[in-house]
Structure 1
Amino acid sequence: MLKLPITEIFSSIQGEGPYVGVRQIFLRLPNCNLNCPYCDTNTSIPPQFRMEADSGTQLFKQFDNPVPIDKLLALIETYDVNLHHSLSITGGEPLLWVKELKVLLPLLRDKGFKIYLETNGTLPEQLLEVLPWVDIISMDIKLPFDGQVFWDVHEFFLRYSLQKEVFIKLVVQEDTSLINLHIARDLIARVDPLIQTILQPVTPTHGIKAPKPDQLLKWQSFFLEKLRNIRVIPQTHVFMGQL
C-alpha cells in the first residue's frame, strides 16, 4: 500500500484569501521546493504527524509517518464532511507528492470531499496530473528572492489552472518592489484580468515588516488599473488564534 508522509491534520477556519472564514479540514504535507524568506511553516518530515483530537483544543494525537493511504483516508473520514466547506491540501508544497495524491484525491472525492489545493504555483506539470480531482486552486505568485525568478513558470501554472476555479495570493511586504508588482500585475492581466487576486500583507517575521496602510491602498489602485478583482486580506487566522 502506498504511503504518504504528513505534517498535521486538523479542522479549523480558513484564514487567507477569498474563502476566509469558511470551515475546512487541513491536510498539511511536508517538504517544499522553495525557501521563502517570510515562511513560518516547518516543512521537514517529522517521524510522527499530529492530528487534533477535538477541533480548537490544540490537543493532538500522534501517528507514525509515513501513513498508508487507506489509514489516512479513514482518519480524514472521522471529520464530518457536511460540517466543512472543503479539504485544504496544503504544505510545504503538496504537488511534490503528486504520485500519492493521484491515489488519495479520487478516494476523497468519492467520499464527498471538495478539494482545495494550496500551492506555490511553480510545478505546472505536476498540477496537470492531479487537476481532474481538484475543485479550487489557491495559487501563490512568488516575487523574486535570492536570485530566483518564477514569472515564466507561474504563467504556465496559471494558464493550466483556468480549467478550475483559481485565485491568486501575492504576499507583499514594506520593501516590495513596484517593478515586481508591475510584472506580476501584467502577467495576471495577460492570462485573464478577471482572476481574483489577493494582496496579502506579510505577517511580520524574521525582521520582515508589513506594508504601511498607504502602500496597500496605492498598490491596490495600481493593480486595479488592469485587473478587475483585487482584494487586500491579511492572515486572519493569526489574530484569531486559529491553527
Structure 2
Amino acid sequence: MIKLPVTEIFSSIQGEGPYVGTRQIFLRFPRCNLKCPYCDTETIVPKQFRIEINPGSRSFREFENPIDIFELVELLQSYDFSLHHSLSITGGEPLLWADELSSFLPLIKKKNLPIYLETNGTLPSQLLKILSLIDIISMDIKLPFGEEIFWDVHEDFLRKSLAKEVFIKIVVTEKSKLDDLQKARDLIAGINPSLLTILQPVTKVNGCESPKPGQLLDWQRFFLEKLMNVRVIPQTHVFMGQL
C-alpha cells in the first residue's frame, strides 16, 4: 500500500505564470528543501489534510494523513475533471515525494488530466523519476539568499526539463541584485534563449517588498537583451481572492 501525505486539495484559478486564469485542481504536498525568505506556505506534515467541498466555498472536509494513493484519486474525482485544465502538483516541494508520485501519477494520467508540476528546480535526480508523467513544468530559478546558491543545480534541472514544456519563474524583490539577475539571465540564455521567463514581483510578506515599477521595467529590458520571451506577471490569485 503506497500512501502520500497531503496538505490540501482545492479547485481554483491559476494565478501565476503563462497559464494565469486557467482552472486547475491544486494538490499541495508538505515539506520543502528550501527556506525562501518570501515563502508564505506552511510546509509541515499535518496530521490531517483538507479538501474544499465546493470550489470557492472555503468549506473543507478533513482526512487523515497520509492517504492511500487510490483513495486520493477517488477524492480528486469529486471535482469535474472536464472543467479543469490540469492537476497542479505543488507544495512545499512536491519532488520530495517523487517515489510515491511515480506510482500515483499514472492513475491520474489514465483519467486524461494533464499534470502541471510546480517546483523550485533544485532536485534534478528526483525530477527524472517522474519526468515521463509530467506535461508542464513551472520551474523556479531562486536568486541567492543567505548562504544558499543554486546556479549549478538549476542549470542541470533546466536541461533535464527541456524534454517537456517548461517555463521559468523568478521571484524578484525590491532588494534583488543586478548581478544575480544577470546570472539567472545568462544561465537561461546559455540553454535556450527562447524559453519563456517570468519575472514575478514578490507579494509583500515577511518584510520582503515588491520592486518599484521602474525596477521591473529596467529588469525586463535587461533580460530581453539576451532572451526572447520575458514577461512580468504578479501573483494574480492574491488580489482575486482565490486560494
Counterpart code for 1:195: L
Query: 2:75, 2:42 → 1: CA distance?
Result: 22
Q: Tell me the equivalent position of 1:235.
A: 235
Matched residue SS, 1:18: helix
- Kindly state the Cα deviation for residue 29 of structure 1 after the two structures are TM-superposed: 0.2
- Kindly state the Cα deviation for residue 222 of structure 1 after the two structures are TM-superposed: 0.2
Q: Tell me the equivalent position of 1:3.
A: 3
Q: Tell me the equivalent position of 2:124.
A: 124
1:11-51 deviations in Å (ceiling 9; x for gaps): 00000000000000000000000000000000000000000
1:100 has 2:100 as partner: yes
Q: Tell me the equivalent position of 2:176.
A: 176
Q: Tell me the equivalent position of 1:112.
A: 112
Q: Tell me the equivalent position of 1:188.
A: 188
Q: Tell me the equivalent position of 2:32.
A: 32
- Kindly state the Cα deviation for residue 132 of structure 1 after the two structures are TM-superposed: 0.5
TM (normalized to structure 2)? Answer: 0.99
Q: Tell me the equivalent position of 1:86.
A: 86
Counterpart code for 2:177: S
Matched residue SS, 1:130: helix
Query: 2:88, 2:42 → 1: CA distance?
Result: 17
Superposition pairs for residues 144-223 of structure 1, below 5 Å?
144-223=144-223
Q: Tell me the equivalent position of 1:49.
A: 49
Query: 2:67, 2:113 → 1: CA distance?
Result: 20
Counterpart code for 1:26: F
Pairwise CA RMSD: 0.4
Counterpart code for 2:242: Q
Counterpart code for 2:172: V
Of all paired residues, the percent bearing the same amino acid is 67
Query: 1:79, 1:157 → 2: CA distance?
Result: 32
Query: 2:135, 2:52 → 1: CA distance?
Result: 25
Counterpart code for 2:37: P
Counterpart code for 1:64: E
Query: 1:212, 1:144 → 2: CA distance?
Result: 20
Matched residue SS, 2:108: helix
Counterpart code for 2:100: E
1:30-89 deviations in Å (ceiling 9; x for gaps): 000000000000000000000000000110000000000110011011211110000000
Matched residue SS, 1:24: strand
Counterpart code for 1:39: C
1:138 has 2:138 as partner: yes
Gaps of 5+ in 1: none
- Kindly state the Cα deviation for residue 233 of structure 1 after the two structures are TM-superposed: 0.2
Gaps of 5+ in 2: none
Across the two proteins, how many residue pairs are aligned to each other? 243
